[in-house]
Amino acid sequence: MSTREESGAEDPIIESRDQLVAPMQAGEKPREKWRIGTEHEKFVYKDYDKHAPSYDEPCGIRDMLLALREFGWKPVEESGNVIAMSGKDGTVSLEPAGQLELSGAPLEDLHQTCAETGRHLTQVKAIGEKCDVKFLGLGMWPDKTREELPVMPKGRYEIMMRHMPKVGSLGLDMMLRTCTIQVNLDYESEACMVKKFRVGLALQPLATALFANSPFTEGKPNGFLSYRSHIWSDTDPHRTGMLPFVFEDGFGYERYVDYMLDVPMYFVFRDGKYIDAAGQSFRDFLKGELPALPGEKPREGDWWDHLSTAFPEVRLKSFLEMRGADGGPWSRICALPAFWVGLLYDGTALDAAWDLVKDWSMEEREALRDAVPRLALDADLPGGGKLRDLAREVLAISRAGLNARARLNSSGDNETGFLKPLDEIVESGKVPAQRLLDLYHGEWNGDIGRVYEHSF
């Protein structure tokens, strides 16, 4: 989730609708300036008893963040608490229950992305060795109850945790018990954004299936392959989902602004503190009628904050965020940006991907999204066949797109090798969650503790 560093009185007050559209328009970049931003979260645990460390215990989350100073990272504070570390590789931040996230820097190619990921994991593992801490790459805590998990001292989390149970039954699980991988990608125009948004939404269930990696809850199989994806279906209907309006004629920046104005607020950030505005209306804020700040109108930074509080399968800010994948081990982190870059950063590949999905009805898209958390690649496709059949076609398109980019490393390899983990999943017919379930029912003999053998 986003890390807010400062609130500025110099930030312009929003006086016109143009200022609401401006963040999306500001994201337009010529193709040569398109970048790749990869975010990935991991669970943190103490090796001796597998508990999730609190913020302030010795060698807890705060100490681990501060230890990154050894590698040149600088602290970001909120109300006197270190909530993130900033550096050349982006930001390392803490999620609500201490999940550790790298929000990577915008990079030119996947070779740089994977090198960045490798540097980050090398650093946190070095710190972990000194603190008896290890990391687990899954989409959901396999054995922890909500009550067993700490809560980090970050103002927006306190507000969200009060609000979540009022609008859904699984929002606290989303905050406390899940991890994801996502990739942030650019566009060159409004029309380019629209096409990428539509392809991203239509194929997000495929990404969810390929990365499905959350089959356990509180020590037992939960009946899902991506329980993390299922959690989003009962988190908050006002700010999640497949966004049917994206596929309607005339969709563009203005329509997304209307959607965001209808998303209830969480907070306003003032003078280093979060003010609870949960459930209140940004439209009222624009009129100076927000109950949390009566008589005050929003500043541009408030709108940027608000854009970060919707959680659809694809999210638009000044770039597009692909949000469908469960967390996973290092070997799969680089595969997600490879999948989407191959599809969305080459014009021929983008056209081919859209041709595969453009005739699906909204009902068919929703049905596929609803089926994937349980069935993954065994979900039925619109018009017949299984999702695994589509996976082969889509991976071939992505590979062709990466080939066309022709971004080579020092050894002369292009970016297609990063798709290999996904090729293996499709060829085997088993997504990561199914492999874990096979181990649980076989070699592990029902002992969920064995999952920790799969740490980073």
How sure is the predictor about 92, in pLDDT bands with cuts at 50, 70 and 90? Answer: very high
Mean pLDDT of 62-77: 98
How sure is the predictor about 7, in pLDDT bands with cuts at 50, 70 and 90? Answer: very low
pLDDT for the residue numbered 220: 98
Tens of pLDDT along 361-376?
A: 999 999 999 999 999 9
Place of tokens 């990696």: 213
Q: How many angstroms separate the first and last alpha carbons of the chain?
A: 22
- Asked whether the predicted pLDDT for residue 2 surpasses 90, the reply is no
Asked if residue 337 lies in contact with residue 108, where contact means CB atoms within 8 angstroms, the answer is no
Identify the helix (H) or strand (E) that includes residue 161.
Answer: helix 155-167
pLDDT for the residue numbered 99: 98
416-419 LR contacts (CB < 8 Å, sep 24+) = 416/338, 416/342, 418/110, 418/114, 418/334, 418/335, 418/337, 418/338, 419/335, 419/338, 419/339, 419/342, 419/395
How sure is the predictor about 256, in pLDDT bands with cuts at 50, 70 and 90? Answer: very high
Mean pLDDT of 419-443: 98
Mean pLDDT of 19-35: 98
- Full-prediction pTM beyond 0.85? yes
Mean pLDDT computed over every residue of the chain: 96
Q: Report the distance separating Cα 215 and Cα 206, nearest Å.
A: 17
Looking at the chain, the whole-number percentage of residues with pLDDT higher than 70 is 98
pLDDT for the residue numbered 350: 98
Minimal CA–CA distance to 406: which of 418, 396, 415? 415
pLDDT for the residue numbered 9: 56
- Asked whether the predicted pLDDT for residue 1 surpasses 90, the reply is no
**Residue 331 vs residue 289, higher pLDDT:** 289
For the chain, give every domain's residue range. 18-454
Q: Report the distance separating Cα 415 and Cα 338, nearest Å.
A: 7
SS3 at position 179: coil
80 backbone φψ class: left, alpha, beta (φ>0; ψ -120 to 50): left
- Asked whether the predicted pLDDT for residue 4 surpasses 70, the reply is no
Mean pLDDT of 262-267: 98
CATH number attached to the domain at 18-454 = 3.30.590.20
Q: Is the dihedral of CA 399, 400, 401, 405 positive or negative?
A: positive
Mean pLDDT of 4-29: 85
Give counts: helices (H), strands (E), the chain: 17, 13
Identify the helix (H) or strand (E) that includes residue 284.
Answer: helix 282-286
Q: C-alpha dihedral over 41, 47, 51, 57, to 10 degrees?
A: -90
- Asked whether the predicted pLDDT for residue 431 surpasses 50, the reply is yes
pLDDT for the residue numbered 331: 86
Tens of pLDDT along 308-364?
A: 999 999 999 999 999 999 999 998 999 999 999 999 999 999 999 999 999 999 999
Q: Report the distance separating Cα 415 and Cα 404, nearest Å.
A: 10
Mean pLDDT of 283-310: 97
Place of tokens 């014009």: 347
